[in-house]
Every structure is written in C-alpha cells, then in structure tokens.
Structure 1
Amino acid sequence: MRKIILAMAASAALAATGAQAQVALKPGVPSILQWSPEQQREWYPAIETVYQVRTVPRGARVHPLPAAGRTIAPTFEYAGKTWTVDDYMAAYNVSGVLVLKDGKVLLEKYGLGRKPEDRWTSFSVAKSVTSTLVGAAIQDGRIKGLEDVVTNYVPELKGSAYEGVTVRQLLMMSSGVKWNEDYTDPNSDVARAGAAILEPGVNPIVSYMRRLPRANEPGAKFTYNTGETDLVGVLVSKAVGKSLSEYASEKLWKPYGMERDAIWMVDLAGHERGGCCMSMTLRDYGRVGQFMLDGGKAGDVQVLPPWWAEQATTPQITNGAPAPGYGYFWWMRPNGSYDASGIFGQSITTFRDDRLVIVINAAWPQATGRELAMARTAFVNAIREAAKGA
C-alpha cells in the first residue's frame, strides 16, 4: 500500500509543474497545490478564468447516455461506519459521480454547487487522453508505430538521451532518461521543466528535456516522469501537424459526440499540456471512458487501431506498486480495474469485464493521501457490487 501511495504522490508533481509552466491570467495566483477549498470550488469548474487555455470544439451530434432500467444507491462499510453516496460525496468534497453500465446511466449525482453543464479540471486524467491521441495518430498513419523512435517526430531531441527511445517507451514512462519528480524540491526537474523559454522557437519542455542525461537503458525501468507526458503531447502535434485541441476535436470530441466543448491548459509557448488539465463535463468524462471501453470506435468509424484500447489499458511494465502494472498512461489497479487518474480526486475507473465506467470528480483537501485513496477504493468497490445484475 505504501508503494501505491508513493506512486500516487508522484503524480502530484504535475500540479507543481503546472504552477510554473502555465500562463496565469490573474495576478498573484497561488500554486494550484495551495488553493483553498473556496478557490478549488470556484476555479476547478472555471480554470479558463485562471490560466490560458485552448478550446476543443464539440460537434453537432451528442452521443446519448440513456438512463438504465434501474438506478443504484450503494452503501459500504469504511472506517467503522456505514456510508451512503451522499455521505461519501460530502466527506470528500466530490463534485460529481457518474456510473455507466453498457453505456447507460446507473447513477449520476452532483455536489459543491456543480451543475450537469459545468466542466471540471482533469489534472493528470489528461495524460490518458493524450495517450489516446497517439493511438489515433497511428490509425491515421501519422505515427508509423509504437516502435518508431521519438526523434523522427521531435528532431530537436536528436543527439540527446532520447536518441533511440521509442514511442512505446515514452508511453510506458521507461525512456531511461534521468528525472527527479520530487515536487517538494524547488530544484527538481519537475519544478523546473517548462518553467521558462530557454530557446526561442523551441518548445520549453523540449528544450529542457533534451539537456537531461540517461540513467537507465530505454524500456528497462518505470520512472514516473511528468515532463515526458508533455513531451508526448508535443510529439503528437508535430506528427499530425495540428494542435492537440484541434486533433482531439477531430478524432474524439466531434465523432464520438461530446456534449460540450472541452478546454485544455497551455504552456508558455501556447502548446497544450499533454500531461495536464483538460476540463470537461462529468458526462464527457464518462464518454471518454466509454469510448475506450468500446474499443476506440465512434459509431462505425474505428478511430483507434483495433488493438489499441485493450493494449493501452493492460499492464505493459511493472511500476513498483503491488498492482498489475502500468499501460500507456493508464494505471492498472489490484481490484481489476484500469484508471485514468488525476490529483485532488479525479478518476475514470473502468471494469472491462463488467462493462462498467465510474467517473469521480472532487476537490480533495490535498493532492493525494493514503486515507483518501482507501476511501475512494471502498466507494468504487461498493459501486461495482451494486451494479452487478443491473
């Protein structure tokens, strides 16, 4: 369990990077890690008032999420008492819970004053969307394959420690490049990467990453590396010749039928953060999960390679935690689910065999924590039990 929490805590580094690598629109905005509960409730649904963003346009059609034949109201035992959905939402500052089975709504609830049309920031859930866009680019022939080397798409990395690293190794967080993800250290890589324009005309994250040395052979070891998730975003943009927002709109938001435009936070160069901070409605989070569960198809159109969705969400490398492992920017959990996960309580949890997608958005009082994770796992497991037979 301790290793799971350490791995989760590492993901909090994304927010530390975000505090410096984004473009603030408000003077004196505190680090997103230090927002008060009041600031979380005000700004998580309106991140575009705090940071510079780009829009991911929706299309004319909305993918329906019809009501299931019945609803569920799970209860569960945790910390010596019986909890209801409302109890959990109130105690853990949850703004939304959505449960889909076979694409139909079993449970949908809102809190913290949020309404169904309100967006909510994703933190690291965006990583899983970026991974999905890699799959779309492979299907489109814009990326030749997972074993292609990253320098073919980001030539500025030639001659660096990324020479010979494959797209697959980046998605597995196993490039072998030395990286310090300690978000308590102001001199760590995660605190410094992308925080300044180092070379005019070169994306700041690329400028920083190409100066790093190699620590391990590519593919040999999992090292949580927030900078590389932004790097994958740059790679996709270069491969397809479009911004991430444009490509996400073209390959996912429009064809699958998202209900509202998403927004995506940008870095100092105006490029979307591949590792952070999309904002979308609760139901659109559910549609992202359902799209992957349905094998990457939008209607009759195969947006992702037929093999992509399953391979991306099954273990590809051991990540040091007592869990099945890590896929392509997706986490595998001991309860048999796979997750897109973000700090402060954001998650899309999928049980493939149960055809079940569970979305939770929250404003936890801290980025991660053992008790927070245990309570959410108990809640998710209770939802799964209640959904059986539905």
Structure 2
Amino acid sequence: MTFAIRLVVGALAAMLPAQVPVLAQQQLPAQLQSGASSDVPVATQVMRWHMNDADVNSFAFRNMDQLFTTRTVAHSGSTWTFPKVERPMDFSYAFDGKTFTAQQALERTYTNALLIMKDGRIVTEIYRNGSNERTRFMGWSMTKSITSTLVGAALADGLIGSLDDQIVKYLPELKGSGYDGVTIRQILQMRSGVDYEERYDFANPGIAASNHINALVKNVVRFADAARTIKRKSKPGEVFAYKTIDTAVLGWLIERVSGGSVAAYTARKLWEPLGTEADGFYIMDGQPGTGREFSGAGYNATLRDWARFGQMMLNGGMANGKRVVSEEWVTAAQAPAGQETGPEGGYGYQWWTMGNSPAYSAIGLQGQYVYIDPASKTVVVKLSYFPPQDDVVSQETLAFLAAASAWKPAP
C-alpha cells in the first residue's frame, strides 16, 4: 500500500466514529428522536418501531427475544401430554357470502401456527413460515388472560383480600390518580374509568402510543408508571373501555403482593402446575433492575403451551392432575361484565366472550387466539400475522374459529 493510499484510508477511518452515530440517528423516526435519549441501539429501536408492519411481523412475532430484554418463565416437572390423532381439516366456513375450506383459511387469515384440540386430543397441529414446535410466539394481549389467572391465584393464596378492594390499598403510589377509588374487579373488567385511549397512531401519538414508544421502543420509562398521573374520564365501573394500562396495573399488583417478579409468580402458579413443555418469557420494558415484565401484552410461548393454557380453562382450572386456579374463578373470568355487543361479544376478567355462545377467547393484537368452547370441548390456538388494523380478516377468523369448534372429525 502506497503512502498516499495509507493517508486516505487513515483519514476515512478517523471520520467514521464521528459520522456513523449521526447517520444512524437519522434512521430514527422523528417520534423517537424527541424526548428522553435512549440507551437502546438505534437499529433495535427501528426494528421495534416496525415490528408490527405487515412485511416483517410474521418473523418478528416469533422472534421477540431477539428484539427485547426478556425474563424467563421456567417450566419444570412432568409434562402434561395430549394424545395426538390428527385428522384432515375437512370442514368449511362461510364469510362475506362465500364459502371457504379450512385449508384456505391458513393463508387467507395469515396463519403462522394452528392447533385444534377436541376432547383433550390434538386433531390438528400445523406450523408455517419456518416455525416449529420449539418456536415461541408472541401472545400480545392474550397475556391479559394470563395476568387475570395470576390475579385469581393471588386471591386464592390470600395475597389479595377481595376483588372489591381498592387498588390503592396495595399500590398506594396510585393515590391521587385516576385509579384512586377503583377496585381490582373494575380493573379486571376494563371498567376503571381512567383516561387512556387505546389508540396507536404513532404519527400523532396520544397517551397510549407515547407510552408504547417510551416504554417498549426506547425503554426510558416503565409502562405501568403512566398510571401514577393518569386522569379520570368516567365513573369507575360504569363504562367498558379496553386499555392495556389496566392490565399493566394488575401486573404491578402481582409484583407487589407476591414480593417478587411477575415472571417468578407466573412460573410458580401457572407454568409449572400447567405441565408445560418449554420455558415461556416476557418481554421487558427495560434492563433488569429497572425494567418490568410487559404484563399487558408481552408473553411468549410455544403453540402447544398456549393450548395447555386453554385446556386448563376448559377443564375448570385443572391441568395435569393439578388444581391451577379455582373452578369458581374460571366461571367468573368468562362471564361478561355487561351486555355482549360487537363481533367479540363481551368481556369478563380479561377474557373476550362470544355473543350467543358459551365460547370465550384470549385475543391478542393482529391475530393471536386461544379460543375455548365448552359446548364442543374444543380449544383452538391460532397464531397469526394480520396486517395492522385489518378488521376484515379479524371477522373472517372468528368465522373460521366458530366452524373449527363445530367441526366433528372422523373417529
């Protein structure tokens, strides 16, 4: 290498440390550049910003441990095994005046994985898009149903005196906020009355979108801490308004009364007695020591372990020969708090209920379902990658789930 070339190379090398951060910063959307600075690498912030986008979510939703700090929920003990008697999905469903085969639903409704159980037997188990039985899938708001189950366990343990206790009895940090005077039951039913619109318009972020950006993308605040200063919009108990901050408060409650982490309580009271076959994990809103589990929408598990959760509920709280949660809790959790309206029906303790049907479901963002029908003894787990805000595919999926529930495979 000539002396002149060495000079050029040396000059370029000297420029890089100063230039790279500037160029990387320009990759960030304006909404991420404002506010508190983040220690999260720029490339990771950008990927978190885009993780729900239709061109990457099939991959992102099953690789969340590559994007976030996580906290493991360990499995332990004997595995709850199910007989497997796979049958071809020889049923159809009707939607929008047309009839489609079950096989067509896989692509039409953006399916990553599907499991159908009848009478405790696996009759369908399908993995797509590079996933397999070891893949751990993001549940999004199906996590709310897990958090609800943990509240039921804490109630049975005597860590919570009553669901009609005010939340400030356990979380005095919320005194003076919109949660002051709100009961645990009202929070479970999404009737807290606090002013938190579940709207994720990131171009024009409101309180929910800003909380998502700061807690989950940038990790500069804790997601539940927004509850400390939140205002009141309606009288507690009167108006149903779905909001993830309510479930984040329930997760904070579990942390406080259990004296440990949400992950540790999940392992002890749910994942171990459930007889799961793999570790689950929560995504965190910060590094260990400061971050919390995203208890409103951050749990990840395998397809079969999501099915075990559903089968436990179908069995009235029993799993693998063990009592996980009381039968009374299971009954109360699936009872709609108000009138069943809309495509999902109503809402119980962090579970959606199906109108004109005993079926109910954990439902997560962009197509995650643990659908339970006591009438046909069916559990369907569907893990998907819907395009953002696609209500049409949501409606088609509900039609498919109802048909799968009614399906009677050949003996």
Name the TM-score class by shorter chain.
0.7 to 0.9
- Is the aligned partner of 1:176 residue 2:193? yes
SS of 1:348's partner is strand
Partners in 1 of 2:409 and 2:355 — Cα distance? Answer: 19
User: How do 1:12-51 and structure 2 match up within 5 A?
Assistant: 26-32=44-50, 34-37=52-55, 39-51=56-68
The code of the aligned residue for 2:131 comes to: R
SS of 2:235's partner is coil
- Is the aligned partner of 1:378 residue 2:399? yes
Moved more, 111-120 or 317-326: 317-326
Shift in Å, 1:292: 1.1
- Is the aligned partner of 1:357 residue 2:374? no
SS of 1:255's partner is coil
Determine which structure has more spread, i.e. the larger CA radius of gyration.
2
Moved more, 106-115 or 76-85: 76-85
- Is the aligned partner of 1:153 residue 2:175? no
Shift in Å, 1:221: 0.9
When residues 138 and 32 of structure 1 are mapped into structure 2, their CA distance, relative to the original with a 3 A threshold, is farther
Question: 2:238 maps to which residue?
Answer: 220
CA RMSD of aligned residues (A): 2.8
Partners in 2 of 1:196 and 1:324 — Cα distance? Answer: 32
Partners in 2 of 1:346 and 1:176 — Cα distance? Answer: 26
Count, aligned residues: 367
Shift in Å, 1:210: 2.2
| Higher RCO structure (Cα 8 Å, ≥6 apart) | 1
User: How do 1:157-168 and structure 2 match up within 5 A?
Assistant: 157-168=174-185
Shift in Å, 1:348: 0.7
Structure 1 stretches lacking a partner, 5+ long: 1-15
Partners in 2 of 1:32 and 1:127 — Cα distance? Answer: 23
Question: 1:115 maps to which residue?
Answer: 132
Check conservation: 1:161, 1:213, Cα contact below 8 A.
yes
Partners in 2 of 1:122 and 1:281 — Cα distance? Answer: 10
Partners in 2 of 1:27 and 1:369 — Cα distance? Answer: 24
Any idea what the Cα deviations from partners look like across 1:349-381, whole Å, max 9, x if unmatched? 1111221111101111x2342320221122112
Question: 2:114 maps to which residue?
Answer: 97
Question: 2:275 maps to which residue?
Answer: 257
- Is the aligned partner of 1:207 residue 2:225? yes
Identity in percent: 31
After TM superposition, the score normalised by the length of structure 1 is: 0.86
Check conservation: 2:86, 2:125, Cα contact below 8 A.
no
Shift in Å, 1:80: 5.8
The code of the aligned residue for 2:107 comes to: A
Check conservation: 1:194, 1:204, Cα contact below 8 A.
no
The code of the aligned residue for 1:354 comes to: S
SS of 1:284's partner is helix
Question: 1:348 maps to which residue?
Answer: 370
Partners in 2 of 1:196 and 1:367 — Cα distance? Answer: 20
Any idea what the Cα deviations from partners look like across 1:14-63, whole Å, max 9, x if unmatched? xx9xxx999966253252465343x2233222110011111110113111
Check conservation: 1:205, 1:231, Cα contact below 8 A.
no
When residues 319 and 188 of structure 1 are mapped into structure 2, their CA distance, relative to the original with a 3 A threshold, is farther
Shift in Å, 1:196: 4.6
SS of 2:232's partner is coil
Moved more, 159-168 or 20-29: 20-29
The code of the aligned residue for 2:278 comes to: R
Moved more, 101-110 or 319-328: 319-328
When residues 317 and 274 of structure 1 are mapped into structure 2, their CA distance, relative to the original with a 3 A threshold, is farther
Question: 1:130 maps to which residue?
Answer: 147
Moved more, 289-298 or 277-286: 289-298
Partners in 1 of 2:45 and 2:224 — Cα distance? Answer: 27
The structure 2 residue matched to 1:229, chosen from 237, 247, 251, is 247
Partners in 1 of 2:39 and 2:311 — Cα distance? Answer: 32
The structure 1 residue matched to 2:210, chosen from 192, 214, 218, is 192
Partners in 1 of 2:377 and 2:228 — Cα distance? Answer: 42
- Is the aligned partner of 1:279 residue 2:300? yes
The code of the aligned residue for 2:374 comes to: R
When residues 180 and 41 of structure 1 are mapped into structure 2, their CA distance, relative to the original with a 3 A threshold, is closer
SS of 1:97's partner is strand
The code of the aligned residue for 1:155 comes to: P
Check conservation: 2:214, 2:221, Cα contact below 8 A.
no
SS of 1:55's partner is strand
Partners in 2 of 1:71 and 1:42 — Cα distance? Answer: 27
Question: 1:243 maps to which residue?
Answer: 261
User: How do 1:50-65 and structure 2 match up within 5 A?
Assistant: 50-65=67-82
Partners in 2 of 1:299 and 1:94 — Cα distance? Answer: 28
When residues 70 and 316 of structure 1 are mapped into structure 2, their CA distance, relative to the original with a 3 A threshold, is same
